């Protein structure tokens, strides 16, 4: 499964004066979050639906559910039409509460501004296409694996990559474990490459830790950044909106 983000991020601000970016509605981002949450709540991983049973029965139901809707690399390249759809369906399936909440937090924080910059339709196609390619890339590198792969992290990694290109000066408030989780603000061009470097290191040690598809994170991040560069090039200009009346900072 994809999960375990290495840098917990909960605020984005832009501009030299540290002004908070005023955000317009982002229906696609909010819709993706809603769909992922609803699918998780009615599925066996949430543990809330008594129809899936308890104990060993629940675990068996979870395995069957992930196998049906997730990506199984060993089956993906056999040519079955159903398997070809799994890199898309897997984007809406999550393996645990922590997996879901971590992904949705990142999507909420970074997706809103990316959607506003790209537009609704383009952002939708970008999210689904890059997420598909991220999972496909992981499956191609592990084509003999029979482990089910689920989660939106590949698509969200693409959002991070695009965000880095579109908003490199945005101030990112992060919680870093090795700094005792103190909230610190850094530019996106510092935080996001650092996050990608952590994924690279973790990918090299993937066989020594939990089943997290770090390679899918890297593929998604690279594809997202590359798309933003090719699509927007040097035409990207972002200006900070005036700060509202001083009633405290807006934080997502």
Task: Point out the residues that are catalytic.
Answer: 153, 217
Of 167, 211, 155, nearest in space to 192 by CA:
167
Beta partners for residue 13, in sequence order: 20, 171
Q: Give the C-alpha separation, 30 to 190, whole Å.
A: 27
Q: Give the C-alpha separation, 209 to 223, whole Å.
A: 25
Report how far apart the first and last C-alpha atoms of the chain are (Å, whole number): 26
CB 104 within 8 A of CB 153: no
CB 137 within 8 A of CB 158: no
């Amino acid at each position: 499964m994809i999960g375990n983000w290495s840098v917990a991020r909960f605020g984005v601000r832009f501009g030299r004066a540290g002004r908070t970016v005023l955000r317009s509605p982002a229906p696609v981002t909010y819709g993706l979050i809603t769909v992922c949450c609803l699918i998780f709540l009615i599925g066996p991983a949430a543990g809330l639906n008594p129809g899936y049973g308890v104990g060993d029965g629940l675990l068996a139901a979870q395995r069957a559910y992930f196998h049906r809707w997730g990506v199984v690399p060993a089956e993906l390249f056999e040519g079955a039409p159903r398997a070809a759809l799994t890199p898309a369906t897997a984007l809406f399936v999550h393996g645990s509460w922590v997996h879901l909440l971590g992904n949705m937090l990142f999507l909420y924080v970074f997706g809103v501004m990316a959607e506003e910059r790209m537009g609704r339709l383009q952002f939708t196609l970008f999210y689904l296409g890059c997420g598909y390619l991220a999972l496909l890339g992981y499956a191609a590198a592990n084509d003999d694996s029979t482990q089910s792969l689920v989660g939106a992290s590949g698509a969200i990694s693409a959002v991070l990559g695009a965000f880095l290109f579109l908003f490199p000066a945005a101030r990112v408030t992060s919680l870093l474990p090795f700094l005792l989780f103190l909230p610190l603000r850094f530019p996106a061009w510092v935080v996001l490459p650092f996050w990608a470097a952590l994924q690279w290191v973790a990918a090299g040690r993937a066989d020594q830790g939990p089943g997290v598809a770090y390679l899918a994170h890297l593929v998604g991040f690279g594809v997202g950044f590359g798309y933003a560069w090719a699509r927007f090039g040097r035409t990207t200009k972002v200006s900070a909106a005036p700060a509202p009346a001083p009633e405290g900072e807006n934080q997502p």
